[in-house]
């Protein structure tokens, strides 16, 4: 309703009277809704971030994709990988490709979820990335680690002892110059190097320690990262 003050020099001045708490419209409701004089901090907006957890695995599979297709790699690495895999299969090994290319956003999620889940850094230390509105810090260290662990498990990331380093923020996967693959066989097999010579290679549970296999791969310019079990690249990183 509207009332009028006592007329002054400028004539009647309207003023708004808020309905009482007992009326059909509650004054506090108006303030909460921001329709009447609600206090606000200048320059602040409500957070739209979503806490780390399995949601981000699903999000990444639609918005930050990876490829498992060797054809998506960059040449000459693509050609070299194809030749290396062909030699492995010809020798009797089985090759499962886990990842070829990876988006920057996916690399970002991999990196920080790995580090936070393993206690390599605090959740508050994680940097932000445009387009990825994730909240790493749950306000509690253990909850933050649990949220990150859900992501590590959902993405199937290699952790110690298989992988001793965090997935890189500037990974060779982003440029199509790396591949993650699992290579298995039984006993010993003879694998041809690029020059045609054969190397007898015994299967080892620890792929990072199998230097004979690494030597064969390097002959094709496919270099092993010895701190990350499935990872091969142009540089070994």
Q: Residue 106 has what DSSP assignment?
A: H
Which has the closest alpha carbon to 2: 16, 13, 12?
A: 16
Please give the Cα distance from 160 to 180 (Å, whole number).
Answer: 16
- Average per-residue pLDDT for the chain: 85
Average pLDDT over residues 77-94: 98
10-54 confidence digits (pLDDT tens): 444 444 433 334 333 343 333 333 333 333 334 334 468 999 999
Rounded CA separation 89/70 (Å): 15
The Cα angle at residue 89 between residues 88 and 95, in degrees rounded to 5: 80
Least confident window among 16-25, 61-70, 78-87: 16-25
Closest CA to 171 of 69, 101, 228: 101
Is the confidence at residue 94, as pLDDT, over 90? yes
pLDDT band at 219 (very low <50, low <70, confident <90, very high): very high
pLDDT score, position 48: 87
Please report which helix (H) or strand (E) contains residue 193, including its range: none
Residue 217 sits at φ, ψ, to 5 deg, of: -60, -40
Write the Ramachandran bin of 30: left for phi over 0, alpha for psi from -120 to 50, otherwise beta.
Answer: alpha
| Global pTM value | 0.72
pLDDT for the residue 69: 98
**What's the confidence (pLDDT) of residue 162?**
87
The per-residue pLDDT for 33 is 37
Q: Which fold has domain 55-233?
A: Muramoyl-pentapeptide Carboxypeptidase; domain 2 (3.30.1380)
What pLDDT, on a 0 to 100 scale, did the predictor assign at position 47? 63
Q: Domain ranges in the chain?
A: 55-233
């Amino acid at each position: 309703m509207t009332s009028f003050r006592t007329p002054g020099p400028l004539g009647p001045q309207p003023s708004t009277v808020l309905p009482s708490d007992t009326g059909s419209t509650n004054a506090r409701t108006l303030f909460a809704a921001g329709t009447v004089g609600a206090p606000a901090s200048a320059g602040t907006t409500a957070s739209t971030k979503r806490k780390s957890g399995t949601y981000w695995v699903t999000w990444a599979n639609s918005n930050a994709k990876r490829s498992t297709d060797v054809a998506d790699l960059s040449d000459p690495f693509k050609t070299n990988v194809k030749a290396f895999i062909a030699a492995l299969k010809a020798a009797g090994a089985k090759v499962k490709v886990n990842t070829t290319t990876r988006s920057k956003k996916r690399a970002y999620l991999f990196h920080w979820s790995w580090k936070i889940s393993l206690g390599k850094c605090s959740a508050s230390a994680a940097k932000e990335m445009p387009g990825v509105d994730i909240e790493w810090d749950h306000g509690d260290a253990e909850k933050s680690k649990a949220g990150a662990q859900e992501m590590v498990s959902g993405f199937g990331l290699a952790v110690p002892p298989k992988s001793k380093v965090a997935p890189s923020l500037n990974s060779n996967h982003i440029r199509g110059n790396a591949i993650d693959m699992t290579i298995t066989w039984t006993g010993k097999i003879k694998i041809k190097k690029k020059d045609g010579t054969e190397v007898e290679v015994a299967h080892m549970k620890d792929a990072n320690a199998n230097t004979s296999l690494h030597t064969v791969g390097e002959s094709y310019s496919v270099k092993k990262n010895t701190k990350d079990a499935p990872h091969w690249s142009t540089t070994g990183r």
